[in-house]
Homo-oligomer: A and B are copies of this chain.
Amino acid sequence: MRTHVVGIDIGGTKLATVVADSTGHILSKVRKPTLAEKGPEYALQLLFEMVRETVASADLVQESVSAIGVSCGGPLDTKTGVVYSPPNLPGWDALPLKAQLESEFHIPVTIENDANASALAEYRFGGGRGYNALLYMTMSTGIGGGIVIDGHIYRGANDSAGEVGHQILLPDGPPCGCGKRGCLEALCSGPAIARRAQDAIQKQLTDRKAAATRLLNLANNRIENVKSEHVLQAARTGDILALQLVEETAYYMGWGIANLVNILNPDIVLLGTIAIAAGDLLLDPIRKTVSEFAMPRTAEAVKIAPAQLGEALGDLAAIALVV
């Protein structure tokens, strides 16, 4: 009897396969490096093996598996199951991922971009349970987003809805990886926070010949080593520059979220990675800005909280697509 499902989480640095029962309970997991430079054919063969290994290590046979859910960086087409050159997967150009997995395993395969799948996982298993209009926002290397309405991923016209990180706030602001300027992602992603920190330290060094911040120490006195983690760490100990950087990050995040709240009127906004690490240090000033910048009716309807699935998110994202 086909009682179990397989989840595949495809990232630029790691691949993970999991087997879960129909309630989403994970029985086994295999994790390997993507070795993205070896291209998609290598990764696919590796995934085929990993799926078999994961099923076997759950003490199941292949015939126990009813479906495969795949969470993968976009852009991709959920209907055809074709992946179109995700930035973190060089060579995955118009790759018919769904077709290749279906032809290998002869069971239905659902593919979804990772931000959407993560949003669905938070809805099914995490902080979004019971909410009808959920917005999930990653906050790590980039700022992605997924919208879940009445339990369904909102995909838009061509699977590209939820590009919340490319909301432009400052058209003359810092350059973004997407080629524009002043996107929310260019202001509040991990690398963007690090860059703002590095610029601020450089300015202190230029103006005063000394940095009045612990940030440099935390980064072994190398300005280029300063990361968003150091900013959070220093802010927790009261470092003034770090606190200013957190405040500024919260202002831009709050502004962007307020706009999203006015447009989507969600009942919950769940924030990932950096927001989880930072907690209320970052979330409280975000909430304050949202309540200042959003309309009273949309602001009062929304809860802003850290995402809850943590390390399990990638696995559950893939699983959420098929349970």
Contacts and interface: CB of A to CB of B under 8 A. Distances in A.
A97 B255 CA distance: 35
A167 B255 CA distance: 9
A158 B265 contact: yes
Interface in A237-270: 255, 258-260, 262-267
Contacts of A266: 156-157
Interface stretch (A1-9, A117-125, A223-231, A296-304): A296-304
Given A155-B265, A157-B301, A157-B302, A168 B259 contact: yes
A164 interface: yes
Interface in A178-223: 178, 180
Number of copies: 2
Contact count band on A: 35 or more
A161 interface: yes
Interface string A285-309: 0000000111101101110000000
A132 B163 CA distance: 18
Interface of A: 75, 132-133, 145, 149, 154-164, 166-168, 171, 178, 180, 255, 258-260, 262-267, 292-295, 297-298, 300-302
Given A160-B265, A168-B255, 8 more contacts: A157-B265, A157-B266, A161-B265, A164-B262, A168-B259, A180-B292, A259-B259, A260-B263
14 contacts: A155-B265, A156-B301, A158-B298, A158-B300, A160-B262, A160-B295, A162-B265, A164-B262, A167-B259, A168-B255, A168-B293, A171-B255, A171-B293, A178-B295
